[in-house]
Chains A and B, each alone.
Chain A
Amino acid sequence: MYKIVDKKFFSENVVMLEVEAPLIAKARKPGNFVIVRTGEQGERIPLTIASADEKKGTITLVAQRVGVSSTKLTDLNIGDEVTDLVGPLGKATEIKKYGTVICAGGGVGVAPLLPIVEGMKKAGNKVIVVLAARNKDLIILEEQMRAFADEVIIMTDDGSAGKKGLVTNGVEEVILREKVDLCVTIGPAIMMKFVSLLTKKYELPTMASLNTIMVDGTGMCGACRVTVGGKTKFVCVDGPEFDAHQVDFDEMMMRLGAYKEQEKADMYKIGK
């Protein structure tokens, strides 16, 4: 069913998989995600959609090898099948003309940012992309971003590519330089938290796409709940994008650690 037709290593631990899923390829919109399961005893994990090819009937997923489930998925090769794949889930990004949009991404969050960058550009926005990583080797999708973005700013912790500094340094540079109307940020929770704190200071409206623990992904289990503006929301059906300034990132990070001990204990399954 869900055959892998292409696989690339973006870096040692970041893998791109192009998977046959014609219905999802047709229905997906920027911001949507899928639930993936690998193996008959596999866990259901959410992954955002990086791109889709409706004619080929494929979607592209980017996953970071961190635990058992992401390793099992990214161990699959071209010709193998993903056991289960369901989507597109979540609400789509509100793509429209805002003016100038900063898209700030880190880690594998850069992948789901790509269709948003494309959409925002096509909607007539000036799009400035800020990509951040620890070093040069971990910067992904730079070329693809350049195809749509008006400008791409690269930030690395060690200065091995672009400028030395954090994602927030790059974002702040743009805010100080010109009038910005919207910021979209996707990446590790800690990164989004600091982008959000920064843009709040400048009163720049900011959307963050959250990646929480999920089981069914259709609003049934509530594992993904986060506090937004003091209210409990479900990332899978109310999100995944929220007004970043309203998100309780500290609670979200705490909840992401719910199964840390079990996850550690399970690493033997992938020979670690």
Chain B
Amino acid sequence: MALEDRSEAWRDALRKSISGKERTDTPRVKMNELDAKVRARNYEEVNQGLTEEQARKEASRCMDCPNPTCMEGCPVGINIPGFIKNIERGEHLEAAKVLRKTSALPAVCGRVCPQEKQCESQCFYKLKLKKEPVAIGYLERFAADYERESGKMATPETAAKNGIKVAAVGSGPAGLSFAGDMAKAGYDVTVFEALHEIGGVLKYGIPGFRLPNRIVDVEIENLKKMGVKFQKNTIVGKTISTKDLESEGFKGIFVASGAGLPRFMNIKGENLIGIMSSNEYLTRVNLMDANNADSDTPVLKGKNVAVVGGGNTAMDSVRTALRLGAERAMLVYRRSEAEMPARLEEIHHAKEEGVEFMTLHNPLEYIGDEKGRVTTMRLQKMELGEPDASGRRSPVAIEGGIIDVPVDVVIVSIGVSPNPIVPSSVEGLEVSAKGTIVVNDKLQSNIPTLFAGGDIVRGGATVILAMGDGRKAAAEMHQYLCSK
């Protein structure tokens, strides 16, 4: 393929056009960001993207390695040098085409992937030169945004229709990525969504200042152009059963119903008014638009807001609290900052915006007023002990180290359990003790026509891992259906 073939003449010429030293001497580009003080009070996207000049310069840092290790770090197998070299030569639409070959949502991934743990962690610069890696994520976003804004968005080519019906359960990243690949392979794909909006966690979970909804909508429109059908307000396992789907002629079902039940700590006072899960808080604000006066959905806006947890969802929640007018937005985490699972960029952005990090603190109980509203959070001070099963140093309580902090809203963001609806409604489906669907290395469950991926299998992961599962399930289901 000319677009991504390393041996093409243009690519060879491009490699020779700049010396290796000049490439490696160029410093990594800095993302253009809105001012922290201003953005912390509005809902605008924080990262403003790269200019064309910045993008081409950053693209020129890429050494176009013969064995690109970065690609090993990408769950959806993007041809990374292939798209970056197209940016370097100024063919940004071609770069986007390379991305679209393997990713249904490049504008999304460019914004929310933890690149520092994936592609960028495997970059030649990082591994061999001990320098800052090529900003692969920024470049991905640049190409996808350039394509969208150009109005020349290419709909990926699809194979001749084979007339075989397949279903995705859930329209989050796993379901969308599965739908894209199956549509490309010629299948008649329907995506079933429980909520009234398509996009799953990309819509209800990730806030607009990190991933605007319009970006997600463009990607969904593109899938529709490829022939993917979407059915909202439909819960597979409740509204229709998997048996109903089979009798309607669906030959394969990919369950990507995501994370369900939010976890709570089960401590005293946790059901007081003002204490809620990050799922509830973010859904009210992101999906239901509760911060808009026209919305009928309310949300509690606190002056003193504490978010419990250290992951990306906790960061999203605490930064949302600032934007809803919190005077004090605190992040309460029982370990130290080094153990936080959140992306580095989110931690950095949260700090810039004025979030108070209360690391090595763990909630003990909540105290409320006569109306049942939370007023005080009692915290236990912690210190780090020996590493635990996760390899992280485990937090240990410091005796006598107890403090009370005034709060009026508390967001509990300590993880979720898998959504129980599908696992409990399919007769004979093998489910783990944790409630996840058990699958083999082909993402196939003990029911051969039923595949599963994303959080319903992993229990709680990232957008890109879910997308990787969607792609893999598509390939495996295709194989399976062809062999039948």
Identify the A interface with B (CB < 8 A): 23-24, 27, 37, 39, 41-44, 68-69, 72, 83-89, 215-216, 218-223, 225-227, 232, 234, 237, 251, 254-255, 257-259, 262-263, 266, 269
Contacts and interface: CB of A to CB of B under 8 A. Distances in A.
Contacts of B232: 84
A72 B296 CA distance: 10
A136 B273 CA distance: 36
Contacts of A84: 196, 232-233
A27 B236 CA distance: 11
Interface in B139-187: none
Contacts of A237: 260-261, 420-421
Contacts of B300: 258-259
B357 to A, nearest CB: 25
A254 B369 CA distance: 11
A257 B280 contact: no
A226 B195 CA distance: 23
Contacts of B372: 251, 254-255, 257
A39 B204 CA distance: 18
Main secondary structure of the interface of A (DSSP, over half): mixed
B295 A41 contact: yes
Please name the 9 residue pairs, one residue from A and one from B, whose CB atoms are nearest each other, closest first: A262-B298, A254-B372, A221-B280, A43-B296, A84-B196, A86-B233, A222-B277, A259-B298, A43-B297
28 contacts: A23-B240, A27-B241, A39-B296, A41-B294, A41-B295, A43-B295, A44-B297, A72-B296, A83-B196, A89-B238, A215-B297, A218-B419, A219-B420, A219-B421, A220-B259, A220-B261, A220-B283, A221-B283, A222-B264, A225-B264, A232-B264, A232-B266, A232-B270, A237-B421, A254-B371, A254-B372, A257-B371, A258-B300
Interface in B195-239: 195-196, 204, 232-235, 238-239
Interface stretch (B9-17, B284-292, B461-469): B284-292
Interface string B430-456: 000000000000000000000000000
Given A84-B196, A86-B194, A220-B279, 16 more contacts: A24-B239, A27-B238, A27-B241, A41-B295, A43-B288, A89-B238, A220-B283, A221-B276, A221-B283, A222-B261, A222-B279, A222-B280, A223-B280, A237-B260, A255-B271, A259-B300
B262 interface: yes
B305 to A, nearest CB: 16
Contacts of A257: 273, 371-372
B234 A218 contact: no
B172 to A, nearest CB: 12
A141 to B, nearest CB: 26
Nearest to A262: B298
